[in-house]
Amino acid sequence: GNSVTQMEGPVTLSEEAFLTINCTYTATGYPSLFWYVQYPGEGLQLLLKATKADDKGSNKGFEATYRKETTSFHLEKGSVQVSDSAVYFCALSDRGYSTLTFGKGTMLLVSP
């Protein structure tokens, strides 16, 4: 079956630090890959996506590249802000209409 593995958190950084959150996946075929973000007390928001190998998704300074050879989709940001503090979920979809398999989530805490 499908699975997504994320690095455990919390990840604690100072403002303007570089962020990497690792994500690897197991799936049959060629899944689409997503990063969702969940701010405290809220639902999930799509942060970025990639639908095929070597695609790079980007949004709000965050980036992730679909690496089929390493089955990875690591999330990066060059300079984090306090407002980026949230839980980040990596997810994949390989069914025709997007039933998502989520990782367990990684909490990011950014201090001033």
Partner 1 sequence: DAMVIQNPRYQVTQFGKPVTLSCSQTLNHNVMYWYQQKSSQAPKLLFHYYDKDFNNEADTPDNFQSRRPNTSFCFLDIRSPGLGDAAMYLCATSSQQGSAKNIQYFGAGTRLSVL
CB-wise, 96 or 112, nearer to partner 1?
Answer: 96
How many other C-beta atoms are found inside a 10 Å radius of the C-beta of residue 40?
A: 8
Shortest CB 98 distance to partner 1, Å: 4
Among the listed ranges 19-27, 45-53, 64-72, 76-84, the one in contact with partner 1 (CB under 8 A) is: 45-53
User: Which sign, positive or negative, has the C-alpha torsion 83, 54, 50, 108?
Assistant: negative
Buried b (16+ CB within 10 A) or exposed e, 21-38: bebbbebeeebbbbbbbb
Q: Which residues face 74 on adjacent strands?
A: none
Shortest CB 16 distance to partner 1, Å: 27
3 state DSSP class of 40: coil
26 is a site residue for partner 1 (CB under 8 A): no
Q: Are 33 and 50 in contact (CB under 8 A)?
A: yes
- Which of 11, 75, 105, 110 touches partner 1 by CB under 8 A? 105
- Which of 2, 17, 102, 109 touches partner 1 by CB under 8 A? 102
Shortest CB 101 distance to partner 1, Å: 9
* Residues engaged in binding partner 1 (CB under 8 A): 32, 34, 36, 41-46, 49, 89, 93, 97-100, 102-105
